[in-house]
Structure 1
């Protein structure tokens, strides 16, 4: 670690002591500290998406069930190859003629949402439903949520695609 070299007296001079410190252990300690901080530090901040979750309801079991009919909702089906389809139909009325296709352009989706909202008989229960297929990718889902946030509609839901919708969707994408 440290080494002391003593020199003899020469001509009545005092004896000088030279001190030499070995820095090798300090270098090892420096590398250990750098390694520790590299493993414990986040280099990038995680990207977090803010979902509009409902506030805690004091009465979690409402006394009346609200039924949302076809005209009080718009359903978006996220498909493969960056395609999105939408409709306002039920299981009996949905066919390849009224399952329409659009793209993820915010102007188009916002326009579809606002037109559906304007024609809704009961605007208080107007809901946007997102149904991603197995072929949809995560980016398209995030884009859809961003478009809903742009349209400033707060009631939306995410659910699985129903078999009757999947049948019509598959007919269109063949």
Structure 2
């Protein structure tokens, strides 16, 4: 705290006394460090990255099914594996379910080639179907590929039973 030390001199003249003030700054320094540490712990240095994902309210609002020549289906599997096809239930076999990698020359080129080969590239749709064994990172990477390839039409769906059977056959 503050101490007052009177300046006592024995002079013959009567003067007003000047009190010297000695102030202890330790509590003020402690308070300063507490405030600095409080603001450092409560401040967000990096804002979290959020993916904007809009899903339809019901499946009835989807309308007609997507033409297979204007779409590609990506199946996200275990161990960072990605499979794709552009076939229907009758045509698809485990041999025709092909694998592609997540690198620049794999998935990106595949989507761009399929978009160019589509009947109507303006409505080209990518359907992403993660399996139960897929990890979240692969799902986010697939969504990032949609941004890289500028694919505006994409959807996320569950695997159908026949796709699950062909996928399991492919892994064996």
TM-score normalized with structure 2 length: 0.79
- Deviation, 1:84, is 0.4
- Deviation, 1:52, is 7.8
* Number of the residue aligned with 1:160: 158
- Deviation, 1:120, is 2.9
Whole-angstrom CA distance in 1 between matches of 2:45 and 2:114: 44
Q: Which runs of 5+ in 2 are unaligned?
A: none
Q: Is 2:28 the counterpart of 1:26?
A: yes
- Deviation, 1:116, is 2.6
TM-score normalized with structure 1 length: 0.79
RMSD: 2.7
Q: How does 1:1-174 map to 2 (within 5 A)?
A: 1-12=1-12, 15-49=17-51, 51=52, 65-174=63-172
- Deviation, 1:6, is 1.6
Q: Which runs of 5+ in 1 are unaligned?
A: 55-60
CA change 1:17–1:90 in 2 (3 A) is: same
Deviates more, 1:70-79 or 1:13-22: 13-22
- Deviation, 1:16, is 4.7
- Deviation, 1:72, is 2.2
Structure 1 consecutive aligned stretches of length 4 or more whose deviation exceeds 6 Å: none
